[in-house]
């Protein structure tokens, strides 16, 4: 169940690739905000947390159908959490300030089942997208999302909660989306890991429960022999003071306190015969029996304590989103030298790549360039989808009857970035970083005794030509950008 949430407007950045959303590779939105959440389960109903969060939303197409992926990370700034209590009346929970927790217990505070509500302006009017952020981790860690592919009539909803019909949803998507507002629609406070570590590694609750054993023995000693042992019992102050002083203490602190109290209980349970004056032994003997039963019960309850909240580590794991038009190069699964062009969206192996073919986003080019018999070099960029030529650039070279002398140079992308039409440069290309040029309507003129031809802002051919005095012009039509 979702806790009570105060929705806040927030700043957001948006990057959209392409001129039309349906033609775009993806639509990316960078989001951030602050919310105050309240727990609703029996274990968290008195817990409240103030959180700051950031989210990345990706919206794209896979074979013409919408794909939604969102990840989120959060930090807890303040609040109150619950801690389990061992009582004879059954399971109960106390509260303590989040600030009072040591770091290892703070790491066990999680938010799960988070859903963002993102409101857009569009051609279909104001529409809202409700997106699950996926499997969340510790504060500061990005969630791992399972991208969803809803039907078109399930992508958006109106302000009244009614679904936006397919035709209107397509029109909204294609016409462009303007971010209006985003908020956490629902989220669960999950304290499973906090409670588990607290009960297993901290003896604070055992210490508190043993206080009742100590009191029972002290009462038996007083009634049977007039011995006052209560003045040395300071367990109540230690337990309560740590909760109110802003520092709960470490696991080591509570191990030592519990150890000392166990030693005291053992001593009080074994009064020497020389101190057993008179004949009113029954109250003390009964107290010793009760203490044994109580200690066994405490140990059993502590060892078998069952955490109520689900373990967040058992929640379904996510995977990265995949959209149509995204490709990757994979090595031969049999361990050979062959490389395969693979559709990232479907995982389908499209074809085997030649040894010199390189992938740049959704484009392919030949890395090694050789001079033709007509003393020209042709550098072409092809679509990875169907192999059609996107651009071809020629420049002069010196042909030779010796094949090895026909080698002109190597085409190298200069940096990781984005093509002007929105395609990402593959990580594989990063090894070819070189000097950066310019891109646009300016022609590039290089004498052939230079070592390179710049074909675009971040793509060049490293040349071995040494023909003095000749100028080469190149007018790039595909531009790489690192912005």
Q: What percent of the chain has pLDDT over 70?
A: 70
Within 10 Å of residue 391's Cβ, how many Cβ atoms?
A: 15
- Across residues 336-355, what is the average pLDDT? 80
Q: What percent of the chain has pLDDT over 90?
A: 32
The Cα–Cα gap between 130 and 183 comes to 10
Burial class (CB in 10 A: 0-12, 13-18, 19+), 452: middle
Give 80's pLDDT tier (boundaries 50, 70, 90): very high
- Predicted confidence (pLDDT) per residue in 209-241, tens digit: 898 899 999 999 999 999 888 765 555 566 666
The tokens describing 466, both together, are 């040494």
Burial class (CB in 10 A: 0-12, 13-18, 19+), 332: exposed
Give 336's pLDDT tier (boundaries 50, 70, 90): confident
3-state secondary structure of 149: coil
Q: For 269-312, where are the alpha helices, taking DSSP H only?
A: 282-303
To which H or E segment does residue 12 belong?
strand 12-16
The Cα–Cα gap between 138 and 131 comes to 20
Query: What are the angstrom distances between the C-alpha of 46 and each of 95, 136, 424?
Result: 7, 22, 47
Give the residue, 299 or 430, on which the prediction is more confident: 299
The tokens describing 254, both together, are 């509570």
- In contact, 104 and 93? CB cutoff 8 Å: no
Give 479's pLDDT tier (boundaries 50, 70, 90): very low
Pick from 288-292, 315-319, 471-475: least confident: 471-475
The tokens describing 312, both together, are 């967040």
Instruction: Please report, for the chain, how many H helices and E strands are present, in that order.
Output: 7, 23
State how far Cα 254 lies from the chain centre. Answer: 34
pLDDT at res. 284:
95
Residue 18 has pLDDT above 50, yes or no: no
pLDDT at res. 156:
94
Give 124's pLDDT tier (boundaries 50, 70, 90): confident
Length of the chain counted residue by residue: 483
- In contact, 446 and 404? CB cutoff 8 Å: no
Query: What are the angstrom distances between the C-alpha of 177 and each of 121, 170, 252?
Result: 6, 11, 55
The Cα–Cα gap between 302 and 85 comes to 10
125-132 and 110-122 beta bridge pairing: antiparallel
3-state secondary structure of 371: coil
State how far Cα 253 lies from the chain centre. Answer: 34
The Cα–Cα gap between 31 and 348 comes to 33
Mean pLDDT over each residue of the chain, to the nearest integer: 75
Pick from 365-379, 397-411, 428-442: least confident: 428-442
Pick from 172-176, 297-301, 404-408: least confident: 404-408
């Amino acid at each position: 169940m979702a806790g009570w949430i105060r929705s806040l407007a927030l700043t957001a950045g948006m990057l959209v690739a392409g001129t039309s959303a349906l033609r775009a590779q993806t639509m990316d939105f960078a989001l951030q905000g602050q919310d105050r959440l309240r727990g609703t389960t029996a274990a968290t109903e008195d817990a409240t947390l103030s959180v700051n969060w950031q989210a990345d939303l990706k919206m794209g197409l896979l074979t013409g159908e919408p794909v939604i992926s969102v990840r989120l990370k959060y930090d807890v700034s303040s609040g109150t959490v619950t801690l389990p209590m061992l009582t004879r009346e059954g399971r109960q929970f106390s509260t303590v300030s989040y600030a009072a927790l040591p770091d290892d217990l703070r790491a066990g505070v999680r938010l799960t089942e988070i859903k963002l509500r993102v409101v857009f302006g569009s051609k279909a009017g104001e529409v809202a997208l409700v997106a699950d952020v996926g499997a969340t981790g510790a504060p500061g860690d990005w969630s791992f999302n399972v991208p969803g592919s809803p039907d078109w009539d399930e992508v958006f909803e109106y302000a009244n909660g009614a679904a936006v019909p397919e035709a209107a949803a397509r029109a909204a998507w294609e016409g462009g989306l303007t971010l209006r507002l985003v908020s956490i629609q629902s989220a669960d406070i999950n304290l499973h890991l906090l409670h588990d570590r607290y009960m297993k590694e901290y003896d604070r609750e055992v210490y508190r429960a043993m206080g009742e054993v100590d009191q029972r023995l002290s009462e038996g000693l007083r009634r049977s022999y007039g011995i006052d042992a209560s003045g040395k019992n300071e367990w109540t102050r230690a337990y309560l003071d740590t909760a109110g002083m802003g520092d709960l203490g470490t696991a080591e602190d509570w191990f030592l306190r519990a150890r000392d109290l166990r030693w005291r209980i053992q001593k009080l349970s074994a009064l020497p015969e020389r101190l057993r004056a008179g004949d009113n032994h029954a109250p003390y003997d009964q107290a010793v029996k009760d203490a044994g039963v109580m200690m066994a019960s405490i140990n059993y309850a502590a060892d078998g304590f069952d955490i109520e909240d689900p373990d967040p580590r058992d929640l379904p794991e996510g995977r990265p989103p995949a959209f149509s038009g995204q490709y990757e190069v994979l090595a031969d699964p049999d361990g050979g030298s062959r490389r395969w062009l693979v559709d990232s969206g479907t995982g389908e192996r499209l074809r085997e790549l030649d040894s010199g073919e390189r992938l740049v986003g959704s484009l392919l080019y030949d890395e090694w360039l050789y001079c033709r018999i007509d003393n020209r070099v042709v550098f072409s960029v092809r679509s990875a989808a169907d192999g059609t030529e996107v651009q071809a650039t020629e420049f002069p070279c010196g042909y030779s009857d010796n094949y090895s002398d026909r080698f002109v140079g190597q085409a190298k992308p200069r940096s990781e970035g984005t093509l002007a039409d929105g395609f990402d440069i593959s990580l594989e290309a990063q090894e070819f970083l070189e000097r950066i040029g310019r891109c646009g309507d300016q022609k590039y003129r290089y004498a052939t005794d230079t070592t390179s031809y710049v074909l675009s802002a971040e793509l060049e051919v490293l040349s071995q030509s040494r023909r003095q005095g000749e100028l080469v012009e190149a007018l790039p039509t595909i531009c790489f950008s690192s912005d």
